[in-house]
Structure 1
Amino acid sequence: MMTTIQLMHNKKTMRFDVVQMTIYKQTKIVEAIGQKNQSYYLFFYKDRYINAKKTTSIRLQSFLKNALQYGYTFTADHPLTKALLTEEKAYRLTSNNQMVQKLSNKYNETEMLYVLAMFDNYVNEKKIQALCKKTFYNYRRNGQLKKAFRILANYAQVRPQDMFAKDMLQHFDFQKYKDQYQDIEQLTIEWSDPLYLESVYFEQKFPDTVINFVIQQYHKDNRKFDQLFLIYMKCSSLEVVSKLDELCQELLSEQDQIALWEDLLASYPAPKTIIEKLVKLNGYQAILKYYLHHHEAIEDRELFEKSLESVSTDQLIEDYQPLLQALMLTYKDDTAQLERVLHLTIKKLLQYLPLKDIITSLKDTELPIMQKLRKMDKLTDNPDQQFALGEIYYDLEQYDQAIACFEWEMELAPEDPAPIQYLYKSYLAKGDKEQANTYKQLMVNIPS
């Protein structure tokens, strides 16, 4: 199902289809397309929505260009995209002046400049630089050199091409602070500039040694989405399934929780832990898909069979060949179990799959179920053997095909109670009590 959002402009609400979400440093950028193919980008800073901008072109050296090129991009239907967006909420579009006013009310000077610089594709670059200079010189005149340096260091994380910031960061007045910022390990221990450190760690793909520092900061700021993203990205090395589970339950629907766990299942070092989560969510299709591509992981046959039973037929059809191969490998030393599980599987596959395709996939098997299928194939075009064919269909729970066979047989032998009894049982098995009762009455009226 398409992920959609609402944008509000001048009290008018418009619905847009989400295309993708990109996460870059502290920013989330969501691309959305309207009915007339107009493209908008929604900007979020940390966990908070800031503004949306109609976009016809992207400047080569803009923050938006860098984000789309170097960020982590997720599809519209990815669980993380859905965790960020609220379909019921209308995201308001504001002018640049209104946005600047709101930013000045919500953020300190460092963060305000940082967020405004994120919009350099839409706001005049000279105006952004002018604000940077004003803030920087205010601190410098007051002798607050460390704050002046911090303003530039963070601003340069968003606009690395800005010549004013580049030149001033090289000034001898700031050599002491420059040396401090180059000692990233000590800066991490002090944790004195989280905004800067988070940007640097993003570029370094969040080294394992700093993950706990970053998660603590996210927890302190109540940034649940960012915790979810970081743990999701580093899940295989962190092994923090319980924390991820807690965040999933809070931010995602059950279906999206299943999708997220399924995504992690193939790479997580302890798949049993994730499989347990999927069982609680009835995510049997995800479990079955995993087993189909990891035959060696099928230790719990009971769970494998439960997954097989729980998955709908149309979901089975997509992977029926790997499924049949997995069955042959898993139960190769237990023909009785293999017969039983194949019987269960073929009952489902026959609803949508041609009989010949199943026979071809299992051509090297000589189990009773295969003998039955081959017999079906021979009887299919024989009008004199429709009752025998109907019995096999009935045994494999293909009730519609069985009914067609028994109706044919009833036409040929109207006094024979056997096809009528099967018609009664077939309709009963389908849940059609009214039709079943019709044939039950016919049985009463036929002389024994």
Structure 2
Amino acid sequence: MMNQTFYLKDKDQSLTALTPIRLAIHVPCTILEAQDAYHHLYHLYFKDQQFLAAKKVSRSKRRSYTEKAFTQGIVFLCPHPLADQLAEDGATIMNQSFTGLLKKVQHDPLETVEVFSCFDGLIKEEKLFKVLRDHYYTYKRDGKFKKAAVVYERIKSIYPEHEWVQSIRSEKVDLTTDQRLLWQARNLKEGFSVSHQLAAAEEEYRSSPSPGTFKTLLAFTNEHYTPSEQQMLYDRLLTDGYDEPARNAFKELVRNHQPVEAIQLLAKYPFTLRASDVRDLRVMLHDKDNLRSLQFETLCSKLAPHLTDYPDEMNEIILTALKYSPDHDLITLLKHLAPLESLPVYELIKQLSEIAEDPEQQAAAGDLYEKLGFYSEAIDCFTYEMELHPESREPVERLSQTYLAAGQAEEAQAYQELLKSMIS
């Protein structure tokens, strides 16, 4: 998986190429952490997928909103589809100053408080405090005491020890519908975005992976992700060690009669096979066309371990697969077969490797090569034997049989004719 690159354009028209690293889903703001070519970090703030502002940072201020977002929110490594939805590959995002942002949102004082309370680690304390306190007094003057109380609670959460906070009598206010508290409890009532629900479903699966939690996540992603976004999520989960996406995809491929793709998926993303998965794999590996599509090393290292309870069957599959392997180097084959050294085929190749170059044992070597389906090498061995013992009928008979097994009927017939001439 490759992270995308997007561009941040500042007021001086300079462009900075950024690569996403992490995404912190929180309320009210989501933070995308990205880095430039020099590994400098940037935090980009979004609300309801709308870009607010970006800031080059060194580290998060302790007890700031940013720190809370990355420690108490839902954090995903990139690439991730929710990050792509915020900053598409190749997109240019126009940055703006906090002053410019303030002018845009000042028509809604409570919205201003919600957004700017997320920048407590980025804006100087006295400036941010003034912005928030001014809105508190605006609501008080207008007789909107509940909203004033909400603003006070926001200021108190940022500056609990501030002299002004200590001097104000806290009014009782019902915060049971406060989205920050609901989000903290993952109580996603009305008002939460699709992105928050997607993030919560993924978090639930990651914390408690099971067919049930994956089914919930699958339902959300089927409805709200494109196929490419869904695949990106599954690749992310597989990379992080969660196997339910692979199992689900494997079953779908088997159900859709795509055995080659199913085998390749299992080889790339191994997962713990259940009994039904093992049955499907056994059936697929007995199909010669499926075996032809596999590298021999992959069969030995990635797939064979799933069939340890079926050694005789696995030995038969390995012998069949050897016939389609382009690499007949015995030392290489023994290396590939090392995880399966208890199988008879391993011993056969080991024995062959010990006599293959011995001129006195070419007949025996030819027999072993033929058992492996390495007909070209077997023919070389029997030809050497025939030249060494021109009066013997056995090498000629073996050559005829081997050519026939290799599908070369004309050559097999020629050696049959030679046998007849030897008899007469």
Q: Shared fold (TM-score greater than 0.5)?
A: yes
Offset at 1:131? 1.3
Offset at 1:41? 1.8
Is the 1:228–1:247 contact (alpha carbons within 8 Å) kept by the matching residues of 2?
no
Q: Which residue in the other structure is 1:294 paired with?
A: 272
Q: Which residue in the other structure is 1:229 paired with?
A: 199
Is the 2:45–2:51 contact (alpha carbons within 8 Å) kept by the matching residues of 1?
yes
Distance 2:29 2:263 in 1: 35
Cα distance change, pair 68–245 in 1 and its aligned pair in 2 (3 A) = closer
TM-score scaled to structure 2, two decimals?
Answer: 0.69
Please list, as runs of the form range in 1=range in 2, the aligned pairs for 1:48-447 lying within 5 A after superposition: 48-78=50-80, 80-82=82-84, 84-104=86-106, 108-154=108-154, 159=158, 161=160, 163=162, 166-167=165-166, 171=169, 174-175=171-172, 177=173, 180-181=174-175, 187=176, 193=177, 196-197=178-179, 199-204=180-185, 206=186, 210-211=187-188, 213=189, 216-218=190-192, 223-235=193-205, 236=210, 239-247=215-223, 249-250=225-226, 252-253=228-229, 255-259=231-235, 262=238, 266=242, 276=251, 285=264, 287=266, 294-295=272-273, 297-305=274-282, 309=290, 313=295, 316=298, 320=301, 323-329=303-309, 331=310, 335=312, 337-343=313-319, 354-366=332-344, 369-370=345-346, 372-382=348-358, 385=362, 391=370, 405=377
Offset at 1:233? 1.5
Q: State the number of aligned residues.
A: 383
What is the CA deviation profile of residues 195-221 of structure 1, one whole-angstrom value per residue up to 9, with x for unaligned ones? x23x223333x2xxx34x2xx433xxx
Letter in 1 for 2:304: L
Equivalent of residue 29 in structure 2, options 27, 30, 37:
27
Identity score, percent: 15
Is the 1:5–1:17 contact (alpha carbons within 8 Å) kept by the matching residues of 2?
yes
Is the 2:243–2:271 contact (alpha carbons within 8 Å) kept by the matching residues of 1?
no
Give 3-state SS (helix, strand or coil) of 1:49's partner. Answer: strand
Is the 2:60–2:121 contact (alpha carbons within 8 Å) kept by the matching residues of 1?
yes
Cα distance change, pair 81–376 in 1 and its aligned pair in 2 (3 A) = farther
Q: Which residue in the other structure is 2:392 paired with?
A: none
Is the 2:29–2:46 contact (alpha carbons within 8 Å) kept by the matching residues of 1?
yes
Distance 1:64 1:302 in 2: 50
TM-score scaled to structure 1, two decimals?
Answer: 0.66
Offset at 1:134? 1.1
Give 3-state SS (helix, strand or coil) of 2:306's partner. Answer: helix
Cα distance change, pair 271–44 in 1 and its aligned pair in 2 (3 A) = same
Is the 1:19–1:75 contact (alpha carbons within 8 Å) kept by the matching residues of 2?
yes
Distance 1:56 1:264 in 2: 27
Distance 1:357 1:74 in 2: 39
Distance 1:391 1:44 in 2: 67
Give 3-state SS (helix, strand or coil) of 2:89's partner. Answer: coil
Offset at 1:273? 5.7
Is the 2:322–2:373 contact (alpha carbons within 8 Å) kept by the matching residues of 1?
no
Q: Provide the alpha-carbon RMSD of the alignment.
A: 4.8
Is the 2:81–2:233 contact (alpha carbons within 8 Å) kept by the matching residues of 1?
yes
Distance 1:407 1:151 in 2: 89
Is the 1:278–1:286 contact (alpha carbons within 8 Å) kept by the matching residues of 2?
no
Is the 1:59–1:121 contact (alpha carbons within 8 Å) kept by the matching residues of 2?
yes
What is the CA deviation profile of residues 223-261 of structure 1, one whole-angstrom value per residue up to 9, with x for unaligned ones? 332222111112456542552232464274464154256
Offset at 1:145? 0.7
Give 3-state SS (helix, strand or coil) of 1:68's partner. Answer: helix
Letter in 1 for 2:117: A
Offset at 1:126? 1.6
Give 3-state SS (helix, strand or coil) of 1:202's partner. Answer: helix
Distance 1:161 1:55 in 2: 24
Cα distance change, pair 272–77 in 1 and its aligned pair in 2 (3 A) = closer
Distance 1:154 1:148 in 2: 10
Letter in 1 for 2:191: Q
Distance 1:307 1:156 in 2: 64
Offset at 1:110? 2.0
Cα distance change, pair 370–57 in 1 and its aligned pair in 2 (3 A) = closer
Offset at 1:136? 0.9
Offset at 1:409? 7.2
What is the CA deviation profile of residues 95-138 of structure 1, one whole-angstrom value per residue up to 9, with x for unaligned ones? 22223233446xx3223222222222322222211111111111
Offset at 1:6? 1.9
Offset at 1:314? 9.4
Give 3-state SS (helix, strand or coil) of 1:122's partner. Answer: coil
Cα distance change, pair 407–40 in 1 and its aligned pair in 2 (3 A) = farther
What is the CA deviation profile of residues 374-408 of structure 1, one whole-angstrom value per residue up to 9, with x for unaligned ones? 3443355447748667656655xxxxxx87x5897
